[in-house]
């Protein structure tokens, strides 16, 4: 139904009837309303995230390679044209998601970047989200959320260019919309509720571990948190302290964290660090935080293999990565870290290949191609190679035809010779 239906859903679900596409004046007004300290913090996070993305981009190269004398192949890294970024703004206003998504797409070289974020009824998008999206390079900012936002970016509504890829976290409705549209449009990943696993050896600080678990549980009622330890005292201490920390949270945060801890949390006691490592890899968490001796952290980094992002040592914490440290916070959930990493500049680059050969260099590849194709039963492929052999190497072609005739039944001989 196009824009008419999108507006209908915006009115029903966002409870918003204001301007959908923000004007330059509206963007400037929102930016002016953001306190200077928050602006400085956003700029700090933006610079870290931008530099990290730029370092990633430096390590993705075009190249040319001579696979055999005279036969050249290569790789090109082509940025996507249009990217649609979804920035949650319902339960919490995810300023950091605007920075993470827009900045990374921009560094990768996307030519057109749109941002959709759900507006608050009668208010519009959070001013700091507008400021962050504008700072990081968004070309268009829309006050629309949910399924209608994903559909609008995919189908090019409200003057947008249809997106090549849709990225960014969201609730279960946003995740389902992305899943249904995958194929028509690219997506960053199939995302479920955020999850976090903490590993602790006997040196872990119970207060820090409990706080780290609670900090991730507040994401939502269905956000799992797990503790894996080889020390019973730490397991019991954390289990006793977490409910106390949850009770001290503001109401909305307390409700989310309480439900997540009650319904989805697990504490697992292991015999040694090898078993802890095996268990953690089995969970393949989105966030994996190791509380261990500093001298052992390199061992953990070398042995752990399944996670979205790894946080080493008690001095760091998952919220650093969520907000401002540099690596992207759009990460694989629901054990998807078994087969994929998180959002990076790679997601916005098509890694394509090319090949070019001289006449002399084409002989050997043509012979191999023709023989393999016929063995597979793909005669049309074989004849593409045959024609080039006949044109460029007529004497070798005659010998080749004789060898082919020796390997096929008589009724095909005339066809092959012709």
List, for residues 10-31, the tens digit of each pLDDT value. Answer: 999 999 988 999 999 999 999 9
User: What span, in angstroms and rounded, lies between the C-alpha atoms of 190 and 332?
Assistant: 8
User: What span, in angstroms and rounded, lies between the C-alpha atoms of 118 and 88?
Assistant: 7
Q: How confident is the model at residue 209 (pLDDT cuts 50, 70, 90)?
A: very high
Q: What mean pLDDT comes out for the span 374-399? A: 90
Q: Are strands 287-291 and 196-200 parallel, antiparallel or unpaired?
A: parallel
Give per-residue burial for 123-159: e unless 16+ CB within 10 Å, then b.
ebbbbbbbbbbbbbbbbbbbbbbbbbbbbbbbbebbe
Q: Residue 71 forms beta bridges with which residues?
A: 68, 357
Give percent of the chain above pLDDT 70. Answer: 96
> Do the Cβ atoms of 36 and 166 come closer than 8 Å?
no
Q: What mean pLDDT comes out for the span 192-218? A: 96
Output the six-digit token pair for 4: 């008419």
Q: What mean pLDDT comes out for the span 198-215? A: 97
In the predicted structure, residue 92 carries a pLDDT above the cut 80: no
Q: Mean pLDDT over all residues of the chain?
A: 93
CA-to-CA dists, residue 75 to 60, 343, 351, 352, angstroms: 10, 21, 7, 6
Output the six-digit token pair for 172: 């279960």
- List for the chain the helix, strand, coil content (%; round to 5): 50, 15, 30
Q: How confident is the model at residue 398 (pLDDT cuts 50, 70, 90)?
A: confident
Distant-in-sequence, close-in-space partners of 222: CB < 8 Å, separation ≥ 6: 193, 259, 260, 263, 264
Q: How confident is the model at residue 93 (pLDDT cuts 50, 70, 90)?
A: confident
Task: Specify the residue for token string 């990374």.
Answer: 104
Taking the CA atoms of residue 112, residue 118, residue 121 and residue 126 in that order, the dihedral angle to the nearest 10 degrees is: -70
Please give the pLDDT value at position 352: 95
- Distance between start and end Cα atoms, the chain: 56
CB atoms within 10 A of CB 5: 12
User: What span, in angstroms and rounded, lies between the C-alpha atoms of 100 and 358?
Assistant: 45
Output the six-digit token pair for 26: 């509206």
> Among the listed ranges 86-100, 110-124, 231-245, which one has the minimum average pLDDT value?
86-100
User: What span, in angstroms and rounded, lies between the C-alpha atoms of 328 and 246?
Assistant: 27
Tell me the catalytic residues.
286-287
Please give the pLDDT value at position 57: 95
Q: What mean pLDDT comes out for the span 216-245? A: 97
In the predicted structure, residue 262 carries a pLDDT above the cut 90: yes
Q: How confident is the model at residue 405 (pLDDT cuts 50, 70, 90)?
A: low
**Of 130, 131, 135, whose CA–CA distance to 117 is shortest?**
130
User: What span, in angstroms and rounded, lies between the C-alpha atoms of 103 and 106?
Assistant: 5
The enclosing H or E element of 242 equals helix 232-247
Please give the pLDDT value at position 414: 58
**Of 42, 36, 67, whose CA–CA distance to 358 is shortest?**
67
Q: Where are the beta strands (DSSP E) in 176-332?
A: 186-187, 196-200, 225-229, 266-269, 287-291, 309-312
Please give the pLDDT value at position 344: 94
Output the six-digit token pair for 323: 């907000």
CA-to-CA dists, residue 57 to 76, 202, 340, 345, angstroms: 13, 39, 18, 6
Instruction: Quote the DSSP letter at residue 119.
Output: P
Q: What mean pLDDT comes out for the span 333-357? A: 94
In the predicted structure, residue 411 carries a pLDDT above the cut 70: no
286-322 tens-digit pLDDT: 999 999 999 999 999 999 999 999 999 999 999 999 9
Q: Residue 244 forms beta bridges with which residues?
A: none
Q: How confident is the model at residue 402 (pLDDT cuts 50, 70, 90)?
A: low
Please give the pLDDT value at position 417: 57
């Amino acid at each position: 139904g196009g824009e008419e239906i999108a507006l209908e859903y915006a009115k029903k679900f966002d409870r918003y009837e204001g301007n959908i596409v923000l004007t330059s004046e509206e963007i400037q007004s929102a930016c002016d309303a953001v306190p200077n300290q928050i602006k400085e913090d956003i700029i700090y996070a933006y610079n870290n995230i931008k530099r990290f993305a730029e370092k990633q981009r430096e390590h993705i190269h075009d190249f040319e390679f001579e696979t055999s004398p005279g036969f050249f192949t290569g790789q090109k890294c082509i940025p996507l044209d249009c990217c649609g970024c979804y920035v949650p703004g319902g339960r919490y206003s995810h300023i950091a998601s605007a920075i993470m998504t827009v900045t990374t797409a921009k560094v990768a070289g996307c030519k057109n970047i749109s941002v959709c974020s759900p507006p608050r009824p009668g208010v519009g998008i959070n001013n700091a989200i507008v400021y962050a999206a504008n700072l990081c390079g968004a070309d268009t900012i829309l006050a629309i959320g949910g399924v209608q936002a994903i559909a609008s970016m995919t189908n090019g509504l409200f003057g947008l260019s249809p997106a090549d890829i849709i990225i960014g976290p969201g609730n279960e409705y946003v995740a389902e919309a992305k899943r249904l549209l995958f194929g028509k449009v690219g997506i960053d990943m199939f995302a479920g509720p955020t999850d976090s696993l903490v590993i602790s050896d006997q040196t872990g600080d119970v207060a820090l571990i409990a706080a780290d678990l609670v900090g991730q549980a507040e994401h939502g009622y269905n956000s799992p948190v797990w503790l894996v330890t080889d020390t019973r005292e730490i397991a019991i201490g954390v289990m006793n302290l977490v409910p106390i920390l949850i009770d001290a949270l503001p109401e909305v945060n307390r409700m989310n964290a309480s439900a997540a801890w009650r319904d989805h949390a697990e504490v697992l006691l292991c015999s040694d660090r090898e078993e802890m490592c095996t268990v953690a890899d089995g969970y393949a968490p989105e966030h994996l935080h190791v509380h261990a001796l500093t001298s052992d952290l390199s061992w953990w980094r070398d042995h752990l293999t399944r996670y979205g992002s790894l946080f080493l040592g008690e001095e760091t914490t998952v919220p650093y990565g969520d907000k401002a440290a540099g690596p992207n916070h759009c990460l694989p959930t629901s054990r998807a870290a078994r087969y994929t990493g998180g959002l990076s500049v790679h997601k916005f680059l098509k890694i394509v290949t090319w090949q070019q050969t001289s006449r002399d260099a084409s002989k050997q590849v043509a012979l191999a191609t023709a023989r393999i194709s016929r063995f597979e039963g793909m005669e049309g492929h074989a004849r593409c190679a045959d024609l080039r052999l006949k044109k460029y190497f007529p004497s070798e072609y005659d010998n080749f035809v004789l060898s082919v005739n020796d390997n096929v039944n008589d009724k095909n001989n005339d066809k092959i010779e012709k």
